[in-house]
Amino acid sequence: MPADKNFHMTPGEFRRYGKAMVDWIADYHERIESFPVMSPVKPGEIRASLPKAVPQTGEPFEGMMKDVDRLLLPGITHWQSPNFFAFFPSNNSFPSVLGEMLSAGLAVQGMMWATSPACTELETHVLDWLVEMLALPESFSSSSTGGGVIQDTASSASLCALLAARERATNFATNERGCDGRLVAYTSSQAHSSIEKAAKIAGIGRQNLRSIGVDDRFAMRPDLLAAQIKQDISAGHVPCFVCASVGTTSSNAIDPVREIGRICREHGIWLHVDAAMSGTAAICPEFRWVHDGLELADSYAFNPHKWMFTNFDCDCFYVADRKALIQTLSILPEYLRNQATESGAVIDYRDWHIQLGRRFRSLKLWFVIRHYGVEGLRHHIRRHIELAQQFASWVREDDRFELAAPAPLNLVCFRHRGGDEINQALMDRLNQSGDLYLTHTRLNDRIALRLCVGQTYTELRHVEHAWKRIREEASILGGTKKGN
Amino acid sequence: MPADKNFHMTPGEFRRYGKAMVDWIADYHERIESFPVMSPVKPGEIRASLPKAVPQTGEPFEGMMKDVDRLLLPGITHWQSPNFFAFFPSNNSFPSVLGEMLSAGLAVQGMMWATSPACTELETHVLDWLVEMLALPESFSSSSTGGGVIQDTASSASLCALLAARERATNFATNERGCDGRLVAYTSSQAHSSIEKAAKIAGIGRQNLRSIGVDDRFAMRPDLLAAQIKQDISAGHVPCFVCASVGTTSSNAIDPVREIGRICREHGIWLHVDAAMSGTAAICPEFRWVHDGLELADSYAFNPHKWMFTNFDCDCFYVADRKALIQTLSILPEYLRNQATESGAVIDYRDWHIQLGRRFRSLKLWFVIRHYGVEGLRHHIRRHIELAQQFASWVREDDRFELAAPAPLNLVCFRHRGGDEINQALMDRLNQSGDLYLTHTRLNDRIALRLCVGQTYTELRHVEHAWKRIREEASILGGTKKGN
């Protein structure tokens, strides 16, 4: 080994491989429609193909990229394909990738203001922008009593909200002495599974998470919520937390936040609003009705990493009263003490979430907002909703199919009238064909297929093709033929 | 607006801006020593300089990059500077940046095997490699009863370990009914603050987290642990969790895992070992003593994002019995059901951590390990430890200074003999000079300065310069003069 051998990739090599990687990413985007959207591999197939032995000595980078192409790509399900209609989107854009690159290159820690002031201050700045862009309640702004923070996911945001709620309801006694089994929380039967996970994590227990029934639009029934709260109080429980959904994962149902908020205020219960995907719609004035009553909420989250062209992870979590959150999550050991923190003049975001360490995630959001501008973002959100509504109209017009739920925004739940078996087969055939990717849910105890329009590059032709393929497969499966 | 205006950055534009960003990152690395390591800005200064108004229309990317240079860089504390000796490192390397780029470009979700099989299978593969590379217990391997997963941070890993411990101790009853205040957990008085945060989050309560005293090396005293457990059992408490530290944040103290493990086994208590920074040392056979007794642990975490040249976030969390973890964190709503999951033949990593969504983080780890090889990683870990030991020897030889704790690996805690005030002033002057960045702790109720050698590019000359500057400032502050 030469004396100066240090094993590092030199800046010159990085320039070369980095530029090749930029081209790879651009090429990937340009050829993405040529791949089957859902990976067709079998369990274990990818791993069996990978070089087995731990590399004892370093390898040239070119070989690794060959393995990416040859071995990994077949195992990728292409979330960035415009034919991806499954789950909720997790979309992306080139400006966001540039933000991720810069974040990785700087590689600073933003756990406290002092550990890289720009990381904290840009985050506060951009999260305040979003208050204005989505017309969120003024209390969520950092210049008011509250403020926003970037969390990894809506799951973590819901957990933090539940924790702050737990503490506020017990005068912060639970933080000291632990849960005593009396606290109860509420969400609808259609809420995301992360609420149940949060109740388990927080020591509330899932039996103490009340599942409130929904109306025929799958939205929480405030009358049932109010009745359950009264019953719990009579039984000696302590209601602490309600989670309302703006756009459930199953069917995009929108809970009546205003009515739920009034009930929460009456009883001093923390209201969290989970608008993971659908909150983004509020960037368009005509869709701001989704947030009706949000000024009654104590906390709120939506995910630019779902439907605002910002690479995962990027959940924006807001609280109306930052003190409750910070008091819940703050710990200051000696090795983190610093003058800025002690002065009280700065935000230390480590006290706003579960983790200590944190990345410079606001860069990608800043790039995305500045690149598209409000105008560009509105354009795409409107277009996605319009495409979903067109799809819904085609479903309505074909009497082999029916809508399985209202489609208020960009998710359409529909089903073939032929029953669960035919719907399952339809979905499996479509997904296995590689032409598009759909997932399912159950509504009124029957399978419903979900088509969510939210991938950055989805255009009319992709939705038209999806509908064509759905009808083709339905015909093969022998449903009643009809439609143009 | 032209009819085809879609506001997207084109692939061609991305090629151009992406390559400019690659050059920016390489340039940043090449000029990083020209910046003050610790940002000198005052609270609010960066934000006041940022463009205030929400951009209504899109802007050219060049302008944003000008703002990065002009407005953000002054607010950056340069964690990737070789003169960064503060906290624990959060280091990085070019192969890791390439992995982040690829992860951002693919932008897949790895929440379940089915949502992108390669994301899950490469992660399992690389985490099994690390079992071999660090000579971890075989039970941590995916082919045994356990397995590894990438978490964001050691904080999250500790929380997951505590949750699994909580459930195992109650036959999973807490998940159902919530905590009842009887559970107790243990860690040393020197453990990381994240353990206390986890106890609060999990509903255990911090009064039920016992702080066990340490010996004169700041390592947990097993005799005190055993006595406390007995006392708690007599008092009707239910001990569920012990966290041992391999390399405390304060002073790099290494708890006696074997003795602690024996006590845990005797009482059926879950043992988690937090080796966030120092675990990486075990890649070198001569430092594997740090993990003595690890086969008695139920879970373990170390962070390649601290000291293994892998961009944050990348914590590797292992369990000896994956069933306990999965049973604690699993929830399967209808909209996530799929054949692969129901077959039981695959790993769904969403059941191994708090969040649902997850990035393709194993790419960067795979690139780092393949680029450096075990040989290259060992080279740098050895070199860092050697440099820290040289620094410790200089401290020992200068009678104005003393070591404040043993320096087993790459962290040296030292102090000027002149008392807290002079040490605080010394640190402040050094940090404000911009030449290097150190942080402090308190040991035996006196300030100690911490010099941690772990930044990717730190070489002898940087440590020599740090020592020179420390001595210079000490002379100015009027301490007793001595030394070469």
The DSSP secondary structure of B376-410, one letter per residue, reads: HHHHHHHHHHHHHHHHHHHHHH-TTEEESS---SS
For residue B209, list its beta bridge partners.
B185
Pairing of strands A238-245, A183-188: parallel
Subunit contact A202:B197, Cβ cutoff 8 A: no
Helix H or strand E encompassing A273 = strand A270-274
**Chain B residues with CB-CB distance to A77 below 8 A:** 108, 114-117
Cross-chain residue pair B125–A47, CB shorter than 8 Å: yes
The edge-to-edge listing of strands for the beta sheet with B315-319 is B147-151, B315-319, B299-302, B270-274, B238-245, B183-188, B209-212
Instruction: Tell me the DSSP string of B354-379.
Output: S-S----THHHHHHHHHHHHHHHHHH
Q: What stretch of H or E contains A239?
A: strand A238-245
Which residue of chain B has the CA closest to A39? B116
What is the spatial distance between Cα A429 and Cα B117, in angstroms, rounded to a whole number?
Answer: 19
End-to-end CA distance of chain B: 72
Q: Do A355 and B155 touch (CB under 8 A)?
A: yes
Residue at token pair 């959100």: A381
A336 or B238, higher pLDDT: B238
Average pLDDT over residues B279-285: 98
Evaluate whether B371 touches A62 at the Cβ level (below 8 Å). Answer: no
Residue A57 has, within 13 A of its CA and on its CB side, a CA count of: 3
Interacting residues of B372 by C-beta distance below 8 A, sequence separation 6+: A7, A58, B93, B95, B309, B380
Which of B69, B120, B121 to mutate: most A Cβ within 10 Å? B121
User: What was the pLDDT predicted at A4?
Assistant: 56
**Bond before A313 cis per omega within 30 degrees:** yes
pLDDT at B483: 41
CB contact under 8 Å between A201 and B197, yes or no, is no
Beta sheet of A446-452, edge-to-edge order: A401-403, A411-416, A446-452, A439-443
Chain B closest CA to A391's CA: distance in Å?
20
Strand ranges inside B226-372, DSSP E:
238-245, 270-274, 299-302, 315-319
Bond before A315 cis per omega within 30 degrees = no
Instruction: Give the span between the Cα atoms of B446 and A362, in whole angstroms.
Output: 38
The residue of chain A nearest to residue B367, with distances taken between CA atoms, is A64
Please give the Cα distance from B313 to A357 (Å, whole number): 8
CB within 8 Å of B384: residues ≥ 6 apart: B307, B410, B453, B454, B458
CB B418 within 8 A of CB B479: yes
Contact of A219 with A273, CB cutoff 8 Å: no
**pLDDT (tens digit, 9 = 90+) per residue, B207-231?**
999 999 999 999 999 999 999 999 9
Pairing of strands B270-274, B299-302: parallel
Question: Tokens in use for A4?
Answer: 């100066």
Q: Give pTM, 2 decimals.
A: 0.97
Instruction: Indicate the pairing of strand A411-416 with strand B299-302.
Output: unpaired
Angle at B292 between CA B286 and CA B295, to 5 degrees: 125
- Answer yes or no: are the C-beta atoms of A178 and B205 closer than 8 Å: yes
Query: What backbone torsions phi and psi does residue A252 show, to the nearest 5 degrees?
Result: 65, 25
Question: Can you list the domains of chain A with their CATH numbers?
Answer: 11-34+39-76 (1.20.1340.10), 109-359 (3.40.640.10), 367-476 (3.90.1150.10)
Nearest neighbour of A178 by CB, restricted to B15, B163, B205: B205
Backbone angles phi, psi at B179, to 5 degrees: -70, 150
Render each residue's pLDDT in chain A as its tens digit; 484 residues: 444 579 999 999 999 999 999 999 999 999 999 999 999 999 999 999 999 999 999 999 999 999 999 999 999 999 999 999 999 999 999 999 999 999 999 999 999 999 999 999 999 999 999 999 999 999 999 999 999 999 999 999 999 999 999 999 999 999 999 999 999 999 999 999 999 999 999 999 999 999 999 999 999 999 999 999 999 999 999 999 999 999 999 999 999 999 999 999 999 999 999 999 999 999 999 999 999 999 999 999 999 999 999 999 999 999 999 999 999 999 888 777 888 887 888 999 999 999 999 999 999 999 999 999 999 999 999 999 999 999 999 999 999 999 999 999 999 999 999 999 999 999 999 999 999 999 999 999 999 999 999 999 999 999 999 999 999 999 999 754 444 3
Contact indicator for B81, A394 with CB cutoff of 8 Å = no
Torsion on CA atoms A30, A34, A39, A45, rounded to nearest 10: -100
Residue with tokens 């080139």: A94
Query: pLDDT tens across B84-113, in order?
Result: 999 999 999 999 999 999 999 999 999 999
pLDDT at site A59: 95
- Give the pLDDT mean for B341-361: 92
**Residues B58, A375: C-beta atoms closer than 8 Å:** yes
Half-sphere exposure of B216 (CA within 13 A, CB side): 1
Say what the pLDDT of residue A82 is: 98
ipTM score over 0.90, yes or no = yes
Mutate to test the interface with A, among B200, B346, B438 (most CBs of A within 10 A): B200
User: What is the rounded CA–CA span in Å between residue A93 and residue A165?
Assistant: 35
For residues B391-401, one letter each, b for 16 or more C-beta atoms within 10 angstroms of the residue's C-beta and e for the rest, the string is bbebbeebebb
- Mean pLDDT, to the nearest integer, of B330-354? 87
Tell me if A356 and B155 make a contact (CB, 8 A cut-off): yes
Distance CA B302, CA B310 (A): 12
Report how far residue B375's alpha carbon sits from residue B389's, in angstroms, rounded to the nearest whole number. Answer: 21
- Rounded CA separation B202/A178 (Å): 8
DSSP A443: E
Q: What are the Cα distances from residue A64, in Å, to A17, B102, B300?
A: 11, 12, 29
